Amino acid sequence: MTPEIDTALSEAKQALEKVRLGLAEAIGQYPTPIYGCGAQFNYHLAQRSQAGLAIDTLGTNIFFPTPRSAAAMVGVESR
């Protein structure tokens, strides 16, 4: 990859990690749940999970489908 892409991916990972840590802190400071009132807590848990998945996704190899012929929309190569 190009240095620009590497830099952008690194910055995105750092930003997501800050969000994930902020959510983890909010979850840690959340008071003992009251029955039926844990919607905000559950929301924070879901957001933290999504941030972690996004960080993992940014660390995977990027795949761009490539056409098998010069004509548009004829087919794509997949591996």
Distances in Å between the alpha carbon of 27 and those of 20, 55, 56, 69? Answer: 10, 19, 21, 52
Say if 5 falls within a structural domain.
yes
Residue 18's domain comprises 1-51
pLDDT in tens, 14-73: 999 999 999 889 888 877 766 766 788 888 889 999 998 998 888 887 666 666 655 555
Amino acid sitting at position 39: A
In degrees, rounded to 5, the angle at the alpha carbon of residue 58 between the alpha carbons of residues 42 and 26 is: 25
The pLDDT of residue 29 is 84
CA 15 to chain CA mean position, Å: 10
Say if 17 falls within a structural domain.
yes
Say if 22 falls within a structural domain.
yes
Say if 76 falls within a structural domain.
no
